[in-house]
């Protein structure tokens, strides 16, 4: 529908106009939950991205952090200080600011690992689905084996191996990339399986045969013609996996095998705060926890909406 | 049928060999095993001698075969850090993890299945919408955060339950159980709930989806048309057919419960295998990592095999196409 209208009204309509007229946009503007989630996720991501401007304090600038301000409760409690809205941690760092800076690391790891898993999984899926035969069998056996183990266990193991291979100091420096690699490598299977099955359906269609007949190389057919047609489900998986990747990163960091405390993510912050739970300083761990849950929940709700919106069977 | 099982069993052995290869590569090439076994003042000649006696100069496949041979007998060498045989360490820790996993799996099933059936049957009611939203919140709550929240409310604020360890345990042979003492049971409550919540949300959503699917089928419509009581239709016909695929997933979930036990055990300092494993990763204690990996793989492979066989037994259609 939207495509046709776009053509009829001429070129003035542009990309934005086509988006506004699309089914997806209609469904989005008629789902309050999806809009609230998207708004929250967007505000959170922007606040983290521009943490340097948004955060009231710079928690990692030692000159501005004072131990006299350590373990202050949130502003509305007795002894709270209005300049530290959500209180301070054991080193006198503002909890609200550390959440923003920590969220940045969490989001960075989440996005990078999902991108890595998606690229790897889509490539494997395309090749396996198009080539078939032995190639397909080998990749899918590997996928089967990996799928029978939970992702978190595989990520833990890969991280453990890197810990053994790299010298201690170096490991802390590259910890973020080790995490991306371990989470990415444990998440690629879903993409590969989904893309493979879609490619197997697309492969027999006429436009692919036409491409083969006019002598296009397989690479061109795969990436220019088949790929755009199988991306719908990939988008849904990517959204849901972004939430999973953020949880996995937080879990690994909480277990102490993720990013080092000098570059804390939300999971590391929760781990640090956990030590103070028993002495009553609950805010150090609870606020980063709430931030994490809200972020993940909003992404999950978006993923849920996207899956329903892209699935014509449910209309 | 027998052919099918044999094929699956062969596949299982293959998977175990691949995992053993990874575990062996870990053991052999991540760090130098000799450096981890001897002290600083051992001379180069002594090291070479030890290398020779341990057979580390043998060809790769000879070493790998030896590793598999030892592993089959349950021998994974000594822990680098704790200087105890790994098999002993794991045997000490296994009962704690097993009891925790079984109790929480039971909890997840007993609450999850009825809730899933209820939300499927009363799809439009407010309470089932509430359950579904709650289950999405449950999926978004990381396991460790559930544990922390429980500790905060029931351990720190209300002071009802112990927040770490297993409490008192009773030794029955080599098995130590916490299920027979009051403090053992009290200590079990929070870790078990923590571990169960994530599984429960998955089971609720899965049972609901399957049940909705089955309720739409022709045989259910036919049963209704025949005028059978809604009770009979829902519980005898629909539920029975729902449980076949659900059973498979639940079988696989048992495996992931063991994996998630790592997190729960870490939060509650529960002295199980998961805690041992996470400490081994911190200290790069390769023999423990390798042994844990092999054990988990074995559990997974066995569960997978049982589920596959059960599937064929339960679903007669597979017996025909399975050939």
CB contact under 8 A, B139 and A300: yes
Residue B81 located in a structural domain? no
Contact (Cβ atoms closer than 8 angstroms) between residue A267 and residue A258:
yes
Provide mean pLDDT across the span B179-199: 85
My answer on whether B21 and B155 are in the same domain is no
Residue B33, pLDDT score? 67
- 3-class DSSP state for residue B175? strand
Alpha-carbon gap, residue B142 to A248, rounded angstroms: 8
Residue A315, pLDDT score? 45
My answer on whether B67 and B90 are in the same domain is no
Give the chain B residue whose CA is nearest to the CA of A277. B152
Express each pLDDT in A13-30 by its tens digit: 677 777 777 777 888 887
| Domain of residue A39, CATH code | 1.10.3720.10
Domain enclosing residue A267, as ranges: 31-314
My answer on whether B183 and B116 are in the same domain is yes
My answer on whether B13 and B103 are in the same domain is no
Kindly tell me if the per-residue pLDDT of A178 is higher than 90: no
Residue A11 pLDDT class (50, 70, 90 cuts): low
A300 and chain B in contact, CB less than 8 A: yes
Q: Which of B50, B72, B94 is the last residue of a domain?
A: B72
My answer on whether B106 and B205 are in the same domain is yes
My answer on whether B21 and B132 are in the same domain is no
Residue A68, pLDDT score? 67
Residue B208 located in a structural domain? yes
A138 and chain B in contact, CB less than 8 A: no
Contact (Cβ atoms closer than 8 angstroms) between residue A117 and residue A194:
no
Domain enclosing residue B216, as ranges: 86-322
Q: Which of B32, B48, B72 is the last residue of a domain?
A: B72
A174 and chain B in contact, CB less than 8 A: no
Which of B140, B252, B260 faces A297 most closely, judged by CB atoms? B140
Provide mean pLDDT across the span B74-95: 82
Residue A308, pLDDT score? 79
Residues of B in contact with A274 (CB under 8 A): 148, 267
CB contact under 8 A, B144 and A278: no
Residues of B in contact with A37 (CB under 8 A): none
My answer on whether B51 and B152 are in the same domain is no
Residue A89, pLDDT score? 73
Residue B146 pLDDT class (50, 70, 90 cuts): confident
Express each pLDDT in A39-53 by its tens digit: 988 888 888 888 777
Q: Which of B72, B95, B111 is the last residue of a domain?
A: B72
Alpha carbons within 13 angstroms on the beta-carbon side of residue B93 total 26
Average pLDDT in chain A: 80
Residue A131, pLDDT score? 83
My answer on whether B159 and B224 are in the same domain is yes
Residue B297 located in a structural domain? yes
Express each pLDDT in A78-95 by its tens digit: 766 666 667 777 777 788
Interface test with B, best of A37, A150, A271 (most B CBs within 10 A): A150
Residue A117, pLDDT score? 93
Report CA dihedral (B19, B23, B28, B30) to the nearest 10 degrees: 120
My answer on whether B30 and B138 are in the same domain is no
**Closest among A195, A159, A157, A153 to A180, alpha carbons compared:** A159
Residue A12 located in a structural domain? no
For residue A148, the distance in angstroms to the closest alpha carbon of chain B comes to 7
Residue A9 pLDDT class (50, 70, 90 cuts): very low
Contact (Cβ atoms closer than 8 angstroms) between residue B161 and residue B186:
yes
Residue B77 located in a structural domain? no
Kindly tell me if the per-residue pLDDT of A7 is higher than 90: no
Residue A66, pLDDT score? 67
Q: Could you tell me how many CB contacts below 8 A there are between chain A and chain B? A: 106
Alpha-carbon gap, residue B278 to B202, rounded angstroms: 25
Residue A10 pLDDT class (50, 70, 90 cuts): very low
Residue A216 located in a structural domain? yes
Structure tokens at B240: 């029975």
Express each pLDDT in A128-145 by its tens digit: 888 878 888 888 888 877
Structure tokens at B100: 């925790």
Kindly tell me if the per-residue pLDDT of B294 is higher than 90: no
Kindly tell me if the per-residue pLDDT of A305 is higher than 60: yes
Residue B106 located in a structural domain? yes
Alpha carbons within 13 angstroms on the beta-carbon side of residue A128 total 23
Alpha-carbon gap, residue A257 to A249, rounded angstroms: 9
Kindly tell me if the per-residue pLDDT of B233 is higher than 80: yes
CB-neighbour burial class of residue B159 (10 A; exposed 0-12, middle 13-18, buried 19+): exposed
Report which of residues B123 and B276 the model is more confident about: B276
Residue A3 located in a structural domain? no
Residue B78 located in a structural domain? no
Average pLDDT in chain B: 81
Which of B151, B260, B297 faces A277 most closely, judged by CB atoms? B151
CB contact under 8 A, B145 and A270: yes
| Domain of residue B254, CATH code | 1.10.3720.10
Residue A115, pLDDT score? 94
Q: What is the DSSP letter of B153?
A: I
Residue A1, pLDDT score? 39
Residues of B in contact with A255 (CB under 8 A): 144, 262-263, 266, 278
Kindly tell me if the per-residue pLDDT of B56 is higher than 80: no
Residue B30 located in a structural domain? yes
My answer on whether B34 and B163 are in the same domain is no
CB contact under 8 A, B141 and A286: no
Report which of residues A112 and A266 the model is more confident about: A112
Alpha-carbon gap, residue B100 to B71, rounded angstroms: 26
Kindly tell me if the per-residue pLDDT of A3 is higher than 70: no
Provide mean pLDDT across the span B45-72: 77
Contact (Cβ atoms closer than 8 angstroms) between residue A139 and residue A128:
yes
Place of tokens 């076949």: B244
Residue B116 located in a structural domain? yes
Residue A4, pLDDT score? 43
Provide mean pLDDT across the span B214-234: 85
CB contact under 8 A, B281 and A156: yes
**Closest among A121, A303, A146 to A198, alpha carbons compared:** A121
Give the chain B residue whose CA is nearest to the CA of A160. B281
Kindly tell me if the per-residue pLDDT of A192 is higher than 50: yes
Number of independent structural domains in chain A: 1
My answer on whether B65 and B106 are in the same domain is no
For residue A67, the distance in angstroms to the closest alpha carbon of chain B comes to 26
Kindly tell me if the per-residue pLDDT of A230 is higher than 90: no
Contact (Cβ atoms closer than 8 angstroms) between residue B192 and residue B103:
yes
Residue A221 located in a structural domain? yes
Alpha-carbon gap, residue B194 to B214, rounded angstroms: 31
Residue A26 located in a structural domain? no
Express each pLDDT in B253-279 by its tens digit: 777 787 788 889 988 888 888 888 888
Residue A2 located in a structural domain? no
My answer on whether B171 and B276 are in the same domain is yes
Residues of B in contact with A266 (CB under 8 A): none
């Amino acid at each position: 529908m939207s495509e046709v209208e776009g053509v009829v009204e001429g070129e003035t309509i542009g990309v934005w106009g086509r988006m506004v007229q699309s089914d997806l946009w209609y469904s989005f503007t008629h789902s309050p939950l999806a809009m609230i989630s998207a708004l929250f996720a967007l505000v959170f991501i922007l606040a983290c991205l521009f943490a340097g401007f948004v955060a009231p304090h710079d928690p990692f600038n030692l000159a501005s952090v004072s131990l006299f301000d350590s373990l202050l409760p949130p502003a509305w409690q007795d002894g709270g200080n209005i300049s530290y809205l959500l209180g301070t941690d054991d080193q006198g760092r503002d909890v609200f600011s550390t959440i923003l800076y920590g969220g940045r690391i969490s989001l960075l790891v989440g996005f990078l690992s999902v991108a890595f898993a998606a690229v790897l999984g889509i490539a494997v899926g395309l090749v396996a689905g198009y080539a078939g035969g032995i190639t397909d069998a080998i990749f899918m056996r590997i996928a089967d084996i990996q799928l029978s183990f939970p992702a978190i266990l595989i990520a833990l193991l890969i991280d453990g191996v890197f810990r053994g291979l790299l010298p201690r100091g170096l490991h802390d420096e590259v910890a973020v990339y080790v995490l991306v690699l371990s989470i990415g490598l444990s998440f690629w299977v879903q993409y590969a399986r989904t893309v493979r099955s879609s490619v197997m359906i697309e492969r027999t269609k006429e436009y692919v045969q036409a491409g083969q007949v006019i002598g296009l190389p397989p690479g061109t057919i795969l990436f220019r013609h088949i790929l755009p047609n199988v991306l719908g489900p990939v988008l849904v998986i990517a959204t849901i996996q972004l939430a999973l990747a953020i949880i996995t990163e937080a879990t690994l960091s909480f277990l102490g095998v993720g990013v080092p405390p000098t570059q804390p993510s939300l999971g590391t912050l929760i781990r640090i705060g956990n030590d103070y739970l028993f002495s009553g300083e609950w805010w150090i761990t609870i606020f980063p926890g709430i931030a994490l849950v809200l972020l993940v929940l909003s992404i999950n709700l978006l993923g849920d909406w996207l899956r329903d919106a892209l699935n014509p069977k449910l209309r | 049928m027998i052919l099918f099982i044999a094929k699956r069993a062969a596949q299982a052995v293959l998977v175990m060999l691949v995992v053993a290869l990874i575990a062996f590569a870990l053991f052999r090439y991540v760090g130098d095993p000799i450096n981890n076994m001897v002290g600083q003042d051992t001379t180069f000649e002594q090291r070479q001698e030890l290398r020779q006696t341990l057979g580390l100069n043998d060809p790769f496949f000879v070493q790998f075969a030896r590793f598999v041979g030892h592993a089959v007998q349950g021998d994974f060498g000594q822990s680098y850090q704790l200087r105890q045989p790994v098999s002993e360490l794991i045997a000490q820790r296994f009962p704690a993890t097993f009891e925790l996993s079984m109790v929480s799996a039971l909890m997840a099933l007993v609450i999850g299945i009825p809730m899933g059936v209820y939300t499927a049957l009363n799809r439009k009611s407010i309470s089932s919408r509430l359950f579904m939203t709650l289950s999405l919140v449950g999926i978004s709550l990381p396991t460790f955060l559930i544990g922390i929240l429980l500790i905060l409310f029931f351990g720190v604020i209300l002071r009802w339950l112990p927040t770490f360890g297993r409490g008192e345990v009773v030794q029955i042979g080599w098995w130590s159980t916490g299920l027979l003492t009051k403090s053992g049971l009290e200590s079990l409550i929070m870790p078990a709930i923590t571990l169960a919540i994530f599984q429960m949300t998955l089971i609720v959503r899965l049972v609901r989806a399957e049940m909705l699917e089955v309720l739409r089928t022709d045989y259910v419509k036919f049963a209704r048309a025949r005028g059978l009581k809604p009770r009979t239709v829902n519980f005898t016909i629909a539920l029975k057919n729902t449980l076949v695929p659900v059973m498979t997933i639940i079988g696989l979930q048992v495996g992931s419960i063991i994996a998630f036990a790592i997190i729960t055990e870490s939060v509650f300092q529960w002295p199980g295998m998961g805690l041992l494993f996470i400490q081994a990763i911190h200290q790069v204690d390769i023999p423990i990592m390798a042994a844990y990996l092999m054990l988990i793989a074995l559990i997974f492979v066995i569960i997978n095999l049982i589920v596959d066989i059960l599937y064929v037994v339960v679903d007669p259609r597979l017996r025909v196409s399975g050939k």
